[in-house]
Amino acid sequence: MNTSIVVMTHNRKNVLEQTINGMLEQDFQGRFEIIVVNDGSTDGTKEALAELSKKYPIRLVSGKKRKGYTKAVKDALKLPKNDVIFFSDSDGEHSPKDFWKLYIELENADIVIGFKENRKPFYRFFISRFNNFLIGAMFGLWLKDSNCGFRVMRKKLVQQVSQDVGTLTYASNAELAIRAFRKGFKVKEVPVQHFPAPSEVFPVSRMPKVILTELLDLVKLRLQV
């Protein structure tokens, strides 16, 4: 198994080392690489990563300005060299040990997505379930956590799908799954642990705007695929 590990980060200085340590503790057999992509952090993450790169075998990609999550992910997914891509956000919401739950299922799938068990806070659980219901009804892809930023993918899927993503403003990971499914790729998901962390994108105050934007974006995507 040759694996490329892609870790996305923005202003996550306090949990970065824990995340990278967790990745390195996994017994990845064969050739592997760890690519850490810093999307214009302003909290000292860039400096912390520079120090971590001296201690750990990581490939650091750090931009001066923030691209935004979707653009940063699209650029990051051009970088992996290996056929299996383990993609994870660095917010500390997932355990790297759960990689193996996803990887086992990759034998009969092209992308395996983790869905958060016992997700908190409740409003995030509700919004996620509502969004996933709409995706199922509109695209025929029935998932419990389609936008989860913790997944394992085959490189061929990433090459064919990732650069088309950009319609769903707040759910680019879900969009990748939708586009993959509509192109005939096999999509699966498995339960993973969830450790709640504060969200810059989905605080309660922004929920009305996020929900309205997502509804309009889903209609646009349905017209595309």
| Tokens 């949990």 -> residue | 15
* pLDDT at residue 199, rounded to an integer: 58
Q: Taking each helix axis from N to C terminus, what angle separates 172-182 and 122-139, rounded to the nearest 10 degrees?
A: 20
Provide the token pair at 33. 């690489």
Rounded Cα distance between 200 and 39, Å, is 14
- 139 sits in which H/E element: helix 122-139
Nearest to 202 by CA among 123, 148, 111: 123
Q: Are 201 and 213 in contact (CB under 8 A)?
A: no
> How far separated are the first and last CA of the chain, in Å rounded?
33
pLDDT of residue 128: 86
Q: Give dist(CA 36, CA 216) in Å, integer.
A: 32
* Structure confidence at residue 200 (pLDDT): 57
Q: What is the pLDDT of residue 203?
A: 67
Pairing of strands 150-154, 111-116: antiparallel
Predicted model pTM: 0.92
pLDDT of the chain, 225 residues: tens digit per residue? 799 999 999 999 888 888 888 998 888 877 889 999 999 999 999 999 999 889 888 999 987 899 999 999 999 999 999 999 999 998 888 999 999 999 999 999 999 999 998 777 777 778 888 999 999 999 999 999 999 999 999 999 999 999 999 999 999 999 999 999 999 999 999 999 988 776 555 666 777 888 899 999 999 999 999
